[in-house]
Amino acid sequence: MNALEINGLGKIYGNGNRALGDVSLTVPKGSFYALLGPNGAGKSSLINILADTVRPSSGKVTLLGHDLFSERNWCKRRLGVVPQEIAFDPFFTPREILRVTAGLFGCKTNEAWLEELLDRLELTDHAGKRARQLSGGMRRRLLVAQALVHRPQLVILDEPTAGVDVELRRRLWDFMRELNAAGTTILLTTHYLDEAEELCGHVAIIDRGQLLTAQPMQTLMHDIASSTLYLKYDKPVLLTKEDGDVLSAFEPTVCDEGVCLKLSREENGGSSFHLAYQAGVARFGIPIDAAVRSEDLEDVFLRLTRRQESEVGDKP
């Protein structure tokens, strides 16, 4: 059984703005899944639909095999959402907020779990303060605790580490890894793409309401990410037309007082490297340094979304 199945989901707002267009996506049970996209891509509309704060214009969503829209109560008890917006009663304490939240989900408060959440999210020392007295980072961590208090099977983290310092962010991710290892499915949206690449085993990228790709992270990086051989010289390299023709298989470019030669993905680190190196030496001489540079998730993300923007711009 998949944790989440989204089929043909669309959303058109009253002003005619199409936020989502026929999005289909499957989130495997027990996965740590990244949902990425630039601002205005449709991520918030998708998450708000899953959180039942926005109604879709079309499509179907199932959570753990149950229809999200016709079985709302069942699904809500198994879903936790960490929203971007911080909204607490300013006069309630963190403990009170968590107890009230558990009650709203129809759950008896598990005091041991509540205290563990406060401890793991480093809120124990502030659990008696009013919410209005908490810093922005503390409120953000309280949102995470609030989403977990009823022990959901699927957790949606919408920019959970915004405003959280680096050390606390690391400890938060350690906690999320433990929950995921114990079977909790996590759907993450973040602008920290290095974190997404490190944490997530699956990734989906959307832009302009359209799904660009959805696949295991390792497959994405193998099939789409490219590598280049960088040859550095003690003086600037000038590429001539003849250089470009001879090295056309490696798509040569000038970069950082040297030349970059693209390696074929099928042979990264193998014969492609040696062929590119030998071809570069034959044209420019022996370099003073050589290194292979591989694209990371941010490079792939920018390339895919820019390509989408270019394709949209080319349409009449």
| Residue 91 shares a structural domain with residue 125 | yes
| Residue 122 shares a structural domain with residue 268 | no
- If one counts every other C-beta atom within 10 angstroms of the C-beta of residue 78, the result is 17
Residues paired with 215 in a beta bridge:
203
Residues paired with 36 in a beta bridge:
205
Is residue 38, in this structure, part of any structural domain at all?
yes
Is residue 48, in this structure, part of any structural domain at all?
yes
270 or 57: which carries more pLDDT confidence?
Answer: 57
| Residue 150 shares a structural domain with residue 169 | yes
Domain CATH for 248: 3.30.70
Q: Do the strands 253-255 and 258-263 form a parallel or antiparallel pair, or are they unpaired?
A: antiparallel
pLDDT-based confidence at residue 255 (cuts at 50, 70, 90): confident
Is residue 189, in this structure, part of any structural domain at all?
yes
The structure tokens listed for 54 are 């926005």
Rounded mean pLDDT, 230-234: 91
271 or 32: which carries more pLDDT confidence?
Answer: 32
Q: Do the strands 210-216 and 202-207 form a parallel or antiparallel pair, or are they unpaired?
A: antiparallel
89: closest CA among 81, 98, 97?
97
Is residue 108, in this structure, part of any structural domain at all?
yes
Euclidean distance between the first and the last CA atom of the chain, given in angstroms as a whole number: 43
% the chain with pLDDT above 70: 95
| Residue 216 shares a structural domain with residue 231 | no
Digit-coded pLDDT (tens) for 60-95: 999 999 999 999 999 999 999 998 887 888 899 999
Is residue 302, in this structure, part of any structural domain at all?
no
pTM: 0.83
- Number of compact structural domains in the chain: 2
Rounded mean pLDDT, 245-262: 88
| Residue 76 shares a structural domain with residue 143 | yes
Q: What is the dihedral of CA 207, 210, 216, 217, to 10 degrees?
A: -10
Residues found in the chain: 316
Q: Do the strands 185-189 and 32-36 form a parallel or antiparallel pair, or are they unpaired?
A: parallel
Question: Which of 143-147, 212-216, 284-288, 304-308 is least confident?
Answer: 304-308
Domain CATH for 216: 3.40.50.300
Tell me the residue type at 206: I
Per-residue model confidence (pLDDT) at position 309:
52
CA atoms within 13 A on the CB side of 175: 20
% the chain with pLDDT above 90: 60
The residue behind tokens 């980072």 is 137
Rounded mean pLDDT, 227-248: 89
Digit-coded pLDDT (tens) for 143-199: 999 999 999 999 999 988 877 788 888 989 999 999 999 999 999 999 889 999 999
d(CA 82, CA 5): 20
| Residue 132 shares a structural domain with residue 255 | no
Domain that holds residue 231: 226-294
Per-residue model confidence (pLDDT) at position 30:
96
Per-residue model confidence (pLDDT) at position 316:
34
Q: What is the DSSP string of 171-185?
A: HHHHHHHHHHHTT-E
Mean pLDDT of all residues in the chain? 89
